[in-house]
Amino acid sequence: MGQEEMSASFKVIREIMQAEAAAKAEQAAGAGKAYLAENAKREGVTTLASGLQFEALTSGDGAKPTREDQVRVHYHGTLIDGTVFDSSYDRGEPAEFPVSGVIAGWTEALQLMNAGSKWRLHVPSELAYGAQGVGSIAPHSVLVFDVELLDVL
């Protein structure tokens, strides 16, 4: 196989991979919209103007963080099909980070939570990784997180 044929083959493979990625992103976007529409109808689910949805699983009475604060949280993140992509619980150690240093859906929710609270967040892709996706998270994916705000640091 000559250089020209090899280049043509790689081009075809690249085009196939791009088409598959685009189809996966389109499927994720459609599934995410349907999921959020159905989820919004559930009792106990609050939908904010941004599109972020949450359920207060437990209510704490500690401080509410601001954008400038650091927090310590435990969390468990899944895709809408239940596939786990990250979990501090699984690692056995809470995470610490600035409120403004995470995805927009988390930044918004954390500022509404009191320390000691545990919420389930249903994060539209626009407030997560959007058209980029990251790692095993396809572009336009809605993400579900159980977030336990342990402490405002």
Q: pLDDT tens digits for 15-56? A: 888 888 778 778 878 899 999 999 999 999 999 999 999 999
Q: Looking at the predicted structure, is the pLDDT value of residue 141 above 80? A: yes
Could you tell me which of 149, 141, 124 has the C-alpha nearest to residue 60? Answer: 149
Q: What is the pLDDT of residue 28?
A: 79
CATH code, domain with 124: 3.10.50.40
Place of tokens 């240093």: 101
State the Cα–Cα distance between residues 54 and 49, nearest whole angstrom: 12
Q: pLDDT tens digits for 8-18? A: 888 888 888 88
Residues marked as catalytic? 75, 85-86, 103, 129, 145
| Cβ contact 117:134 at 8 Å | no
What is the pLDDT confidence band of residue 73, given thresholds at 50, 70 and 90? very high
DSSP-based three-state secondary structure for 12: helix
Q: pLDDT tens digits for 94-140? A: 999 999 999 999 999 999 999 999 999 999 999 999 999 899 898 99
Of 2-11, 56-65, 94-103, the one with minimum mean pLDDT is 2-11
**What is the number of domains present in the chain?**
1
Q: What is the pLDDT of residue 109?
A: 99
Could you tell me which of 106, 108, 114, 97 has the C-alpha nearest to residue 63? Answer: 114
**Domain containing 33: what range?**
3-152
Beta bridge partners of 149: 73
Tokens of 129: 């990784």
